[in-house]
Structures are given as structure tokens and as C-alpha cells.
Amino acid sequence: MQSNRIAQLIGVLAVLLGIAYLAGVFDSEPSTISVPDVDVPTEEVTGLRLQADTWEVALSRDGGVWRVTEPVSSLADSNTVSRLLNSIAELELNSVVSTNVDRHQRYGVDQETGRYLTLTWGDEEYRMVVAAEGPDFSTSYVRLNEEETVYTGSRIALPTSADQVRDKTLLNIPAELVQSASVETSEYAYQLAYADGWTISESAGPAVAADSMKVVSWLRRYSPLRFDGFEDELTPDSVDVSTTVSLTLQSGLTRTVHMGTRGSDILAYTDGSPQVMRAAITRLGFLIEEPDEIKAD
């Protein structure tokens, strides 16, 4: 009887060991080795380069302003850069999980799967390899300066694409500075003008009162107007424009947004930039208002 119980316990133990093996418990290398401090003066960093297997982006800071320098030249998304630098400043390594280069792929920090981050300031350079995914939502796998040791550390807010690093502001016109506006589509055209209140006129018709609250609410959608991404392979003359929105400031400066559609996207550019950007076509109704919708009741 006792021998049967022992055999059952051995069987259960074997099953548990098998489950642990399949779960990768024995692949990790927990260690009591002290982990290093990551000391990067993020407020002094003037250069960033992030390399993934299929994309690469470089940024530089000049006069407090971050710009993308590769693969194109554009303003950087300040929120994305700030989140990344803040997470580096707060980075704390917790433990060593592997010192075996053969396990780099398993932890997502090898040449093909890892993201190589280089930070520069003055004559200094600091490099790290970060996994796209950590063991949980708040933890990253990290290698420092391309050494073989893999650590777990607090989450690093890495961008997931080159587009994410670029400023996606298509236009930024403060609503309170707009003196007049015009909208033209394939179905209608109208003009808005401000003089002690907003008026609207269609084609050659007379100006009538507009709902000022609705006009201002619509103008604020362009202050700022951000799109979803970029179409670097396109130029403005390749966009089949079907809608234009022009905003004229009190200074007399006019900015125009030219928009067309392609499949499920809006394609747009401004007269001040040759960069073509895209957004979901469902936003088209947000960007323009039919004239009857903004006339005063």
C-alpha cells in the first residue's frame, strides 16, 4: 500500500517537473549577482538612435527641440521622446536572467529581435538592447552595451515604429486667430467670415448668420490637427484632391489643407509642406461640416 502511494507521488512529481520544463523554468538563470546601475543623464542627451530588424530612426536635439534626422527630416513627437527618456532615467535593473548568448533570442534581445538603442551626449555614448516584449507589462528584458548578460528591469517606453517618433501634426492654427475660412468639396462650397460674429455664405449667395459656437468648435479641430501616419512614397501631385479647407488668420496668412481618399484612408497635405499624411476615412466627417450644420437656427 505504501509502495503504491510512493509511486503515485513520484508520478505527480514527474508531471510537475515536465510542466515546469515546458514552461521554461529551467531555461532561466536566476542569479544573486548584483546588477549595475544605469546612469544616463537624460537631460543632457542630444542624440538618439533606435534600430529594429525592419526599421531605424535617428533623432537629435538642438535648442531643446527634438528632430528626426533619419530616415527623413521632420519634427519629432515630443511626447514619445519624453516618455522614452523618462523611462531611461527611471530604469532600475532587477535581476540577471541569463548570461548565455544562446538564449538571447529566447528573451528577444538578439540581433534580429532586439531593439538597439544608442544615446549620446557630449563625447559620451551609451547603448542598450531592449526586448520588444518583457515578462509582463511593467518589465523589460535588457542588455547593456551589447554585453551577454540579460537583465530584467522596469519598463522602457520604446517606440514601436519610426512613424511613432515623428510629429504627426498636419496643421496647428489657434481657433481664436482665425478671421475667415472656406470649405470646398465635390458636393458644396461655402465661406465663413468673422465680424462681431460668424457669418456663412454659399457660392454667390448672401451671407447669413452662422452658429458661432459650432464654428469655433469646428475650428478647434485644427488646433492642432494630428493625423495617424505618413505616406513617404507619395507626393502632393499624386493625391486626387476632393476636399480643401482654408483658414485665414487675422495677420492675413492663409493655410490650406488638401484632402483626398484612398481605400479606407484620407490622404492630406498642406500648402506649407510637401509631406503626405494619412488618417482613417471615418475622420472625414470630423474635419468638415456641411453648411446647414453650422448655420444659426
Cβ–Cβ under 8 Å, residues 179 and 193: yes
| Mean pLDDT, range 191-205, rounded to an integer | 90
* 202 beta partners: 190
Nearest Cα to Cα of residue 170 among 268, 254, 240, 289 = 268
- Kindly provide the residue ranges of all beta strands, DSSP E only, lying in the chain, ordered along the sequence: 47-51, 56-62, 65-70, 74-75, 93-98, 115-121, 124-130, 139-144, 150-154, 169-171, 178-184, 189-194, 198-202, 208-209, 225-226, 229-230, 243-249, 254-262, 265-270, 273-280
Three-class secondary structure of residue 114 per DSSP: coil
Compute the distance between CA of residue 181 and CA of residue 164 in angstroms, rounded to an integer. 31
Instruction: Report strand pairing: 93-98 vs 115-121.
Output: unpaired
pLDDT at 183 over 90: yes
End-to-end C-alpha distance for the chain, whole angstroms = 92
Mean pLDDT of the residues in the chain: 88
Asked if pLDDT for residue 220 goes beyond 90, the answer is yes
Q: How far apart are CA 35 and CA 98, in angstroms?
A: 12
At residue 21 the predicted structure's pLDDT band, cuts being 50, 70 and 90, is low
> At 136, which amino acid appears?
D
Residue-wise pLDDT tens digits, 188-197: 999 999 988 9
Res 205: pLDDT: 79
The residue among 283 and 18 whose pLDDT is bigger is 283
**pLDDT given for residue 297 in this prediction:** 81
* Contact between residue 211 and residue 218 where contact means Cβ atoms under 8 Å apart: no
Residue 16 has pLDDT above 90, yes or no: no
Q: Tell me if 24 sits within 8 A of 82, measured CB to CB.
A: no
What cell was used for 56? 531605424
User: If you average pLDDT over residues 267-280, what whole number do you get?
Assistant: 92
Look up residue 76 and give its DSSP letter: B
Per-residue pLDDT at 203:
81
Q: What does the pLDDT look like over 26-85, one tens digit per residue?
A: 454 444 457 888 889 999 999 999 999 899 999 999 988 999 999 888 899 999 999 999
* Nearest C-alpha neighbor of 106 from the set 15, 18, 26: 26
DSSP 157-199: ---SSHHHHB--EEE---GGGEEEEEEE-SS-EEEEEESSSEE
Asked if residue 23 has pLDDT above 60, the reply is no
- The residue length of the chain stands at 297
pLDDT of residue 11: 58
- Provide the 10 A C-beta neighbour count for residue 1: 5
Q: How far apart are CA 135 and CA 125, in angstroms?
A: 28
45, 49, 52, 54: CA torsion to nearest 10: 150
pLDDT value of residue 25? 47
Helix (H, G, I), strand (E, B) or coil at 20: helix
pLDDT per residue as tens digits for the range 80-109: 999 999 999 999 999 999 999 999 999 999
Rounded average pLDDT over 264-279: 92
Could you tell me if 38 and 117 are in contact, meaning their C-beta atoms sit under 8 angstroms apart?
no
